[in-house]
């Protein structure tokens, strides 16, 4: 009833305004001051009193009639003022009715009697007397059908009747309003209220007709339909009207049988732009009642009626959502399938539409495709079937084709990659991983996608047999890794990837790239130690291959500082060794040696250490740094007992000891060399040298042993073997071992003679001769020691035998044909004869001889001795005759001395020599 | 050394000083210096160089007679520098060296003497003996022959050359000739040489041609 009162108030304000205007026009010349004072005054009572006073005095009937009308209108205003301010007002309105009735009594032909009755209805209404008010209005509509207040009066009647639940009467009153030509402002309200009147009377179709008309008037302006969104922008009252109307329409259709009724209605009355509102509001009504199926049917009915309507997809997916709420999974799926089938990329719906301009639909489609993709992905994971994987992949691919610029496209590319990876389709997985990683602007999954691509490559490589194809694949995987490291430097695995890439690049021969990659790892601090170590190794390997051995050394050292590794350590040693080689080539021997020693120290137990240490000492040798060479050689021997270079060490050590004057040790080394070398000439020379050096330092035992070994090993050539025997003999002589010396001299002689003298040179012959000569001495000494004593025959026989032995010995020496030996032998033979003669003369005389006999005996002895003396002379003269041949050695001189004694006249001649010159001249 | 030089001022002390200097094995006197200073040291004295040389020589002879061979040799050697005109010091030096078996030094001394005095017959003869003792018989022959060029009548040289031909070159006829020349120029030991001659003639008679031929080849 509130709305009706407002309308009444609005109407009530209108007539006085009209009256004032009239008043103004009519009384402008006569009563301008009064009118102005009335308007300006708020004191209605004062105004009324003025009109009352005026009415009492004026004689003009028209003016008096006007004044009485003003008094009645002001009385109504006084009542309304009291009503508005909550003061007692009933009497005021009753006074107003009285005033209006008094006017009509005095002036029954009042021109605006319709207005006066309308004012009376108003006063009764304000006074709470609905019946009298209704009667007053009926009076207006019955008596004044052409009154400007007719439609309003009918409307007011309808409102009062509707409020009194007299819907039939109200309906009639509303119909009168609608029928009036100037229904004007009351038209919409009257149609709405008539709809309700029908509705409340059970005439639903009639009611719906009025409501639909209300909607059409509210929402359609010409051909333009206000969209759902625009509904929000309607003025509040109109919006409430539309909203109420839609609600009651829904109620009405629900009572009529729901969606089918809606469709039937539109089919019968023609379609309307607001159909979606009607269907959706009905669906909402069902939802509020938890009548899910009816709600879904309603929405679906719209889709069936307008499949290509802009909002059809939204209705369709709403169907699915409602079934979701209802727990009707099968129906929800079915609805979704319809949605996807009806509004996919290839559907007619999109023929004239742009996805970008349809954000809601687009969003729903995305959600559904994504849901499908994820669901089928999960299914594939569960079943493990290739077919399921293919299905899931198709969902992702469709999605990406449909929404290439979608915000989730990068992630979905990645997921598609994951899916393909899981199904073992690594090549395709790579494609999508890389798409995800590199095609889109940065997104959270990009780095993971990039990494997953690398893992996929790894799998492919594992499955690919060696060959050209694998090489190509490897190259691609390396490029991918490089790209990854460039794009995602902060990925947790980036160091691992970089390290592996560096390794692969190196293996593929791309050294420059490998080095760059490795140095990126080593240059940073984020990589795990093990990775940095590997990177250092790669860097070192590249530098090594480039012959940048100093740099390689640094790299390897860095790697080793992180973790020890014997093989790497050896490689480090090689890198250092190569620096040594380079320095050596440039002639920097000292530097080269430093490098070699460093190389050996770097990997002390390695094979290269052996070589390096040896090369270092080779330089030391060329530098003639003997003490250092000795130390190094000895160390090398201790460190590398199994080295094949040991022979060289022995050789060099021997020479170094010689240089240092450590002859005993040199001798030992030469002996060792002789035993170890494969070169016979060298062995022979070394053994000899060993013996000589032992000899030199006075170690005769070792010298002898060495020479004996020499003789055993090298009987040829005879000269050398004989010399060895001589040296042994000499050694024994120096030790005073006469017996051994003689034994070895005998060896000299027999060695020469056994050979028949053919292989021996002059030296051997000379040596044999000298030996034979010396060996003759004992026989001679034995001969000399024997004295001729009684009984003479026995001692004579012994001495004779000794003489023959001595002669034989000297004869043997002389036969070698060596002049010096021959002269000696000749002298001794001469002296043996001489000695024998003398021995005879000095022999012990028989004790029992008389003087004469003794004299005779002496003569006899002299006769016996004489030939020996003669023989002695002959032999010394042999030596004497050698003088003109150039022989004048000590034995010739000795023979001369003997001859001088034996034949003084012939040989005892000495020059005249000056002993001292005493004159100074 | 300084001490030695100062002492040279006194003429009497020369022999002792020389001996003293020579007796210091660790610091053998540089004979050059010593010799150079001698005339200067002598110059204030009125003595003649020759008398100084004689005194010097006498002192050395004294050492030699006393068997102080090394000191004597040093003194004679110093004289060879101080008084290069004299050969006698060289000869005595050669005698000392030859007796010690130092043949080469002896030879050098004698050759030097002959260089200084090519007519020094004694030096040539001594050289012959030295060579013979060394077994250098041809050189010995040449030395003797040089001596005989200087003095063909030198009996001792004929004696020595005879022995060389007799025993070492074993050319008995030439030996015979020189033994005879020795006799001719009145050599000593007549009786001995006579026996040698007799022995030689006897052998030559017995051996005939071989000896003659041999002698002729020499």
The predicted pLDDT at position B98 comes to 93
Confidence bin at B108 (pLDDT 50/70/90): very high
Residue numbers in A near B168 (CB within 8 A): 883-884, 888
The predicted pLDDT at position B177 comes to 94
For residue A224, the cross-strand partners are A221
The CA R_g of chain A, rounded to the nearest whole Å, is 75
- Alpha carbons within 13 angstroms on the beta-carbon side of residue A453 total 31
All residues at 6 or more sequence positions from A213 whose CB lies less than 8 Å from its CB, including other chains: A191
Residue numbers in A near B159 (CB within 8 A): 911-912
**Interface membership of B113 toward A (CB under 8 Å):** no
pTM: 0.48
Q: Give the helix/strand (H/E) hosting A225.
A: strand A224-225
Q: Tell me which residue in B86, B129, B196 faces A909 most closely, judged by beta carbons.
A: B196
Mutate to test the interface with B, among A877, A880, A881, A917 (most CBs of B within 10 A): A917
Mutate to test the interface with B, among A899, A920, A921 (most CBs of B within 10 A): A920
Q: How far is CA A38 from CA A35, A69, A78, A585, in A?
A: 5, 14, 14, 131
Two structure tokens written together for A890:
């000590």
**Percent of chain A surpassing pLDDT 70:** 93
Instruction: Judge contact between A477 and A461, C-beta under 8 A.
Output: yes
N-terminal to C-terminal alpha carbon distance within chain A: 189
The predicted pLDDT at position B120 comes to 93
User: Alpha-carbon distance A833 to A828, whole Å?
Assistant: 9
3-state class (DSSP) for residue A220? strand
Task: Identify which of A24, A32, A25, A103 has the alpha carbon closest to the alpha carbon of residue A61.
Answer: A103
A915 and B160 within 8 Å at the Cβ level: the answer is no
Residue numbers in A near B188 (CB within 8 A): 912
If 0-12 CB within 10 Å is exposed, 13-18 middle and 19+ buried, where does residue A797 land? exposed
User: Alpha-carbon distance A618 to A596, whole Å?
Assistant: 10
User: Alpha-carbon distance A586 to B212, whole Å?
Assistant: 81
Q: Please provide residue A324's backbone torsions phi and psi, each rounded to the nearest 5 degrees.
A: -60, -50
Q: Please provide residue A236's backbone torsions phi and psi, each rounded to the nearest 5 degrees.
A: -60, -45
**Interface membership of B87 toward A (CB under 8 Å):** yes
Residue numbers in B near A888 (CB within 8 A): 135, 137, 168
Question: How far is A696 from chain B, CA to nearest CA, in Å?
Answer: 29
All residue ranges of chain A with pLDDT < 70 are: 1-42, 181-184, 220-233, 755-760
User: Alpha-carbon distance B156 to A356, whole Å?
Assistant: 155
A920 and B156 within 8 Å at the Cβ level: the answer is no
The predicted pLDDT at position A757 comes to 57
The predicted pLDDT at position A222 comes to 52
The ipTM estimated for the assembled molecules is 0.74
The predicted pLDDT at position A699 comes to 87
The CA R_g of chain B, rounded to the nearest whole Å, is 22
Taking each helix axis from N to C end, the angle separating A646-659 and A663-676, rounded to the nearest 10 degrees, works out to 160
CA nearest A887 in B: which residue? B135
Q: Tell me which residue in B95, B163, B170 faces A884 most closely, judged by beta carbons.
A: B170
Residue numbers in A near B196 (CB within 8 A): 905, 909
Two structure tokens written together for A29:
């010349």
Question: How far is B35 from chain A, CA to nearest CA, in Å?
Answer: 17
- Rounded to 5°, the CA angle A335-A339-A343 comes to 170
Backbone CA torsion sign across A864, A869, A872, A873: negative
Task: Identify which of A697, A698, A692 has the alpha carbon closest to the alpha carbon of residue A710.
Answer: A692
Residue A593: CB atoms within 10 Å: 25
Instruction: Judge contact between A453 and A484, C-beta under 8 A.
Output: yes
Residue numbers in A near B57 (CB within 8 A): 920
Question: How far is B34 from chain A, CA to nearest CA, in Å?
Answer: 20
User: Alpha-carbon distance A638 to A798, whole Å?
Assistant: 65
Residue numbers in A near B166 (CB within 8 A): 909
**Interface membership of B76 toward A (CB under 8 Å):** no
Confidence bin at B217 (pLDDT 50/70/90): very low
Give the tens place of pLDDT for each residue, B46-67: 345 568 888 889 999 999 999 8
Alpha helices in A58-166 (DSSP H): 61-85, 90-106, 113-127, 130-143, 150-163
The predicted pLDDT at position A24 comes to 36
Mean pLDDT for B174-201 is: 90
A916 and B167 within 8 Å at the Cβ level: the answer is no
- Rounded to 5°, the CA angle A141-A146-A149 comes to 60
Residue numbers in B near A912 (CB within 8 A): 156, 159-160, 188
Two structure tokens written together for A179:
């029928």
**Interface membership of B103 toward A (CB under 8 Å):** no
CA of residue A852 relative to chain centroid, distance? 136
Size of interface A-B (CB pairs under 8 A): 64
Compute the residue count for chain A: 921
**Interface membership of A906 toward B (CB under 8 Å):** yes
B88 and A913 within 8 Å at the Cβ level: the answer is no
Q: Please provide residue A622's backbone torsions phi and psi, each rounded to the nearest 5 degrees.
A: -65, -30
- Whether the pLDDT of residue B212 is over 60: the answer is no
Give the tens place of pLDDT for each residue, A183-193: 567 888 888 89
**Interface membership of A883 toward B (CB under 8 Å):** yes
The predicted pLDDT at position A257 comes to 86
Residue numbers in B near A917 (CB within 8 A): 88, 91-92, 95, 122
3-state class (DSSP) for residue A202? coil
Q: Give the helix/strand (H/E) hosting A221.
A: strand A220-221
Contacting B residues, span 14-33, partner chain A, CB-CB under 8 Å: none
Place of tokens 């006197």: B29
Give long-range contacts, CB 8 A cutoff, 24+ apart: A255-259.
A255/A204, A256/A204, A256/A205, A256/A208, A258/A282, A258/A286, A258/A294, A258/A297, A258/A298, A259/A294, A259/A297, A259/A298, A259/A300, A259/A301
Compute the residue count for chain B: 218
**Interface membership of A17 toward B (CB under 8 Å):** no
The predicted pLDDT at position B17 comes to 36
B163 and A916 within 8 Å at the Cβ level: the answer is no
Residue numbers in B near A907 (CB within 8 A): 167
**Interface membership of B199 toward A (CB under 8 Å):** yes
Residue numbers in B near A895 (CB within 8 A): none
Q: Higher pLDDT residue, A501 or B128?
A: B128
Q: Tell me which residue in B95, B167, B169 faces A907 most closely, judged by beta carbons.
A: B167
């Amino acid at each position: 009833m509130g709305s009706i009162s407002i309308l009444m108030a609005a109407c009530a304000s209108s007539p006085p305004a009209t009256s004032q205007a009239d008043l103004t026009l009519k009384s402008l010349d006569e009563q301008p001051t009064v009118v102005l004072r009335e308007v300006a005054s708020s004191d209605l009572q004062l105004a009324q009193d003025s009109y009352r006073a005026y009415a009492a005095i004026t004689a003009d009937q028209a003016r008096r009639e006007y004044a009485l009308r003003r008094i009645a209108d002001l009385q109504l205003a006084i009542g309304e003022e009291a009503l508005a301010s909550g003061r007692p007002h009933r009497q005021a309105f009753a006074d107003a009715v009285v005033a209006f009735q008094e006017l009509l009594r005095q002036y029954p032909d009042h021109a605006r009697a319709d207005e006066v009755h309308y004012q009376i209805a108003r006063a009764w209404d304000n006074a709470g007397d609905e019946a009298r008010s209704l009667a007053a209005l009926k009076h207006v509509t019955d008596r004044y059908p052409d009154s400007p207040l007719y439609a309003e009066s009918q409307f007011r009647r309808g409102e009062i009747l509707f409020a009194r639940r007299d819907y039939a009467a109200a309906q009639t009153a509303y119909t009168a309003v609608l029928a009036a030509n100037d229904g004007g402002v009351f038209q919409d309200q009257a149609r709405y209220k008539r709809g309700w009147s029908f509705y409340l009377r059970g005439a639903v179709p009639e009611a719906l007709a009025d409501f639909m008309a209300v909607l059409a008037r509210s929402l359609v302006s010409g051909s333009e339909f206000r969209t759902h969104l625009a509904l929000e922008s309607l003025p509040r009252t109109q919006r409430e009207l539309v909203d109420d109307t839609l609600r009651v329409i829904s109620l009405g259709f629900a009572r009529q049988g729901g969606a089918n009724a809606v469709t039937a209605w539109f089919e019968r009355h023609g379609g309307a732009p607001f159909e979606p509102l009607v269907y959706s509001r009905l669906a909402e009504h069902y939802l509020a009642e938890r009548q899910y199926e009816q709600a879904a049917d309603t929405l679906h009915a719209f889709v069936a009626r307008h499949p290509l309507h802009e909002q059809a997809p939204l209705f369709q997916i709403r169907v699915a959502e409602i079934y979701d709420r209802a727990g009707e999974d099968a129906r929800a799926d079915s609805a979704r399938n319809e949605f996807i089938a009806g509004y996919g990329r290839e559907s007619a719906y999109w023929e004239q539409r742009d996805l970008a301009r349809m954000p809601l639909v687009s969003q729903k489609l995305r959600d559904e495709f994504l849901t499908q993709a994820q669901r089928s992905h999960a299914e594939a994971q569960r079943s493990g079937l290739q077919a399921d994987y293919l299905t899931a992949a198709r969902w992702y691919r469709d999605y990406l084709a449909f929404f290439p610029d979608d915000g989730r496209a990068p992630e979905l590319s990645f997921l598609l990659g994951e899916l393909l990876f899981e199904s073992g389709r690594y090549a395709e997985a790579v494609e999508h991983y890389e798409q995800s990683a590199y095609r889109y602007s940065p997104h959270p999954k990009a780095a993971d996608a990039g990494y997953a691509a690398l893992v996929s490559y790894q799998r492919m490589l594992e499955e690919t047999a060696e060959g050209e194809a694998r090489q190509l694949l490897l190259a691609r995987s390396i490029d991918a890794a490089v790209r990854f490291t460039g794009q995602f430097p902060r990925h947790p695995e980036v160091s691992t990837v970089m390290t592996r890439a560096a390794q692969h690049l190196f293996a593929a021969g791309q050294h420059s790239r490998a080095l760059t990659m490795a140095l990126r790892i080593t240059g940073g601090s984020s990589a795990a130690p093990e990775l940095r170590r590997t990177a250092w190794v790669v860097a070192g390997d590249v530098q090594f291959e480039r012959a940048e051995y100093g740099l390689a050394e640094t790299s390897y050292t860095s790697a080793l500082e992180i973790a020890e590794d014997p093989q790497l350590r050896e490689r480090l040693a090689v890198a250092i060794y190569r620096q040594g080689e380079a320095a050596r080539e440039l002639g920097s021997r000292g530097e080269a040696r430093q490098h070699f020693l460093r190389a050996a120290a770097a990997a002390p137990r390695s094979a290269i250490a052996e070589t390096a240490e040896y090369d270092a000492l080779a330089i030391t040798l060329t530098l003639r740094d003997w003490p250092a060479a000795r130390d190094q050689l000895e160390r090398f021997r201790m460190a590398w007992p199994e080295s094949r270079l040991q022979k060289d060490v022995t050789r060099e050590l021997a020479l170094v000891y010689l240089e240092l004057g450590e002859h005993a040790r040199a001798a030992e080394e030469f002996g060792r060399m002789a035993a170890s070398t494969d070169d016979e000439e060298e062995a022979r020379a070394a053994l000899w040298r060993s013996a000589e050096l032992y000899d030199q330092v006075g170690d005769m035992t070792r010298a002898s042993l060495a020479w004996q070994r020499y003789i055993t090993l090298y009987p040829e050539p005879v000269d050398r073997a004989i010399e060895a025997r001589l040296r042994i003999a000499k050694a024994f002589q120096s030790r005073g071992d006469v017996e051994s010396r003689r034994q070895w001299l005998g060896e000299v002689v027999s060695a020469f003679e056994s050979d028949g003298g053919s292989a021996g040179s002059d030296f051997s012959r000379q040596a044999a001769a000298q030996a034979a000569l010396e060996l003759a001495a004992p026989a001679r000494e034995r001969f000399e020691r024997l004295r001729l004593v009684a009984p003479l025959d026995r001692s004579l026989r012994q001495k004779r035998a000794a003489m023959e032995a001595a002669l034989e010995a000297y004869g043997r020496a002389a036969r070698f044909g060596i002049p010096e030996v021959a002269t000696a032998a000749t002298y001794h033979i001469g002296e043996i004869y001489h000695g024998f003669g003398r021995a005879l003369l000095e022999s012990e005389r028989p004790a029992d001889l008389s003087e004469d006999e003794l004299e005779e005996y002496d003569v006899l002895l002299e006769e016996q001795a004489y030939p020996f003396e003669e023989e002695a002379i002959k032999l010394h003269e042999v030596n004497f005759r050698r003088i003109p041949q150039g022989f004048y050695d000590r034995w010739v001189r000795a023979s001369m001395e003997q001859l001088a004694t034996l034949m003084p006249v012939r040989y005892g001649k000495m020059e005249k020599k000056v002993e001292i010159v005493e004159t100074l001249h | 050394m300084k001490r030695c030089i100062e002492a040279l001022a006194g003429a009497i002390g020369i022999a002792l000083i020389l001996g003293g200097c020579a007796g210091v094995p660790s610091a053998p006197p540089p004979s050059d210096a010593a010799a150079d200073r001698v005339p200067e040291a002598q110059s204030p004295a009125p003595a003649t160089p020759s008398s100084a040389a004689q005194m010097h020589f006498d002192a050395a002879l004294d050492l030699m007679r006393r068997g102080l061979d090394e000191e004597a040799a040093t003194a004679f050697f110093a004289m060879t520098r101080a008084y290069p005109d004299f050969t006698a010091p060289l000869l005595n030096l050669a005698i000392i060296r030859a007796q010690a078996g130092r043949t080469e030094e002896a030879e050098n001394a004698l050759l030097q003497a002959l260089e200084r005095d090519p007519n020094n017959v004694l030096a040539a003869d001594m050289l012959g003996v030295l060579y013979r003792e060394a077994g250098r018989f041809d050189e010995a022959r040449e030395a003797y022959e040089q001596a005989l060029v200087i003095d063909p009548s030198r009996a001792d040289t004929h004696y020595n050359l005879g022995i060389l031909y007799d025993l070492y070159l074993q050319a008995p006829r030439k030996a015979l000739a020189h033994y005879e020349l020795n006799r001719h120029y009145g050599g000593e030991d007549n009786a001995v040489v006579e026996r040698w001659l007799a022995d030689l003639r006897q052998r030559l008679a017995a051996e005939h041609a071989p000896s003659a031929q041999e002698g002729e080849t020499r």
